[in-house]
Amino acid sequence: MNKTEIASRFRDLQLHICQALEELDGKAFFQEDTWEREEGGGGHTRTLQGGRILEKAGVAFSAVHGPVTPAMKQQLGHEGEVFFATGVSIVLHPRHPRHPIMHMNVRYFELEDQTFWFGGGIDLTPHYVDSVKAKHFHEALKATSDTFNPNFYPQFKEWADRYFFLPHRNESRGVGGIFFDQLNEANAGLNKEQLFEYCLALGKLFPVVYKHQVADVALQNPTAAELNWQALRRGRYVEFNLLHDRGTKFGIYSGGRTESILMSMPPMANWVYNQEPEEGSEEQKTLSFLRAFHEFC
């Protein structure tokens, strides 16, 4: 199980997920951009716009290598001069406000001395929180995680709860999910192959779970209030990604490929000064839930 095999199977995973999402969407197809990185490696960025279900979606694969940069050194907490990193990243922005935004990332990192780790996560950001759907989402993550290590789900869920939070809004980004980083043989109790299989299993779970999230929502034309709320929640998504998301910030500040990093941006977003939804409205219920998320999650 060397880095070339891992990259190749992540690339297969990307294509598998795109195919599954195209089937689900039933209208639009992914376009592929292939790019190279001056310092070594490159990627395939696949994006879809204007679908039936998906208004804007990105599924990116990359496999890059080169000298460890000063910015990396700061984040690494480990000595090394040459790195290799490969992974798949996804963000789905659905057209309908009653469908959720969903995000996933799985990645592998190694240094020249064969030190390696895996990182990743899946999280769900509904514009309107549906507690039954949120529960189903978490159960699916738990079921898949439990087949690898029963400690994973509780640990990684808590990590996601802490991570996907906007302190400047005192709001959770959504209903959480799982998040993990620097997972290796020493701290995970699994060998390299098993950890990789876990990442692949999460990747395969992604389109299945998304299909369930959008399955029984009758696609009536959204109301003006729903669309307005979606645009405001998309504004929060932008705020999280540009102010707090470690991957985005690291990528941007270290000179990564901007278009591949910012494929996570929604197609559009709104900001209204000091906007508070009407008391008793569904929008207000979602906001209360996100503000209190840390208390009962």
- Residue owning tokens 């209190």: 292
96: helix, strand or coil: coil
CA dist., res. 36 & res. 126, Å (int): 34
Using the minimum distance from each CB to a second copy, give the nearer residue, 6 or 28: 28
Does residue 103 have an active-site annotation? yes
Give the number of residues in contact with a second copy, rule: CB under 8 A: 33
| Least distance from a second copy to the Cβ atom of residue 274, Å | 5
What's the gap between Cα 245 and its chain centre?
10
Q: Does 203 bind a second copy (CB under 8 A)?
A: no
Residue 173 near residue 124 (C-beta atoms within 8 A):
no
Q: 247 vs 40, 139, 163, 253, 273, CA distance in Å?
A: 19, 26, 12, 10, 28
Q: Alpha-carbon torsion 178, 183, 185, 186, what sign?
A: negative
Q: Does 168 bind a second copy (CB under 8 A)?
A: yes
| Least distance from a second copy to the Cβ atom of residue 95, Å | 15
Q: Does 71 bind a second copy (CB under 8 A)?
A: no
CA dist., res. 188 & res. 83, Å (int): 22
> What are the backbone dihedrals phi and psi of residue 266, each rounded to the nearest 5 degrees, phi first?
-70, 160
Q: Does 36 bind a second copy (CB under 8 A)?
A: no
Q: Does 37 bind a second copy (CB under 8 A)?
A: no
Binding mask 41-60 for a second copy (x = CB under 8 A): ----x-x-x------x-x--
Using the minimum distance from each CB to a second copy, give the nearer residue, 4 or 258: 258
What's the gap between Cα 285 and its chain centre?
24
> According to CB under 8 A, which residues from 236 to 295 bind a second copy?
238-239, 242-243, 249, 252, 255, 258-259, 261-263, 265-274
| Least distance from a second copy to the Cβ atom of residue 235, Å | 7
Residue 270 near residue 230 (C-beta atoms within 8 A):
no
237 C-beta neighbours (distance < 10 Å), count:
23
| Least distance from a second copy to the Cβ atom of residue 259, Å | 5
Using the minimum distance from each CB to a second copy, give the nearer residue, 273 or 296: 273
Tokens of 30: 């992914």
Q: Does 225 bind a second copy (CB under 8 A)?
A: no
CA dist., res. 285 & res. 280, Å (int): 7
What's the gap between Cα 207 and its chain centre?
12
| Least distance from a second copy to the Cβ atom of residue 157, Å | 26
Given the residues 96, 103, 127, 138, select the one marked as catalytic: 103
Binder of a second copy out of 11, 16, 169, 211 (CB under 8 A) = 169
| Least distance from a second copy to the Cβ atom of residue 70, Å | 16
> Catalytic positions, please?
103
Sites of contact with a second copy (CB under 8 A):
33, 45, 47, 49, 56, 58, 167-169, 231, 235, 238-239, 242-243, 249, 252, 255, 258-259, 261-263, 265-274
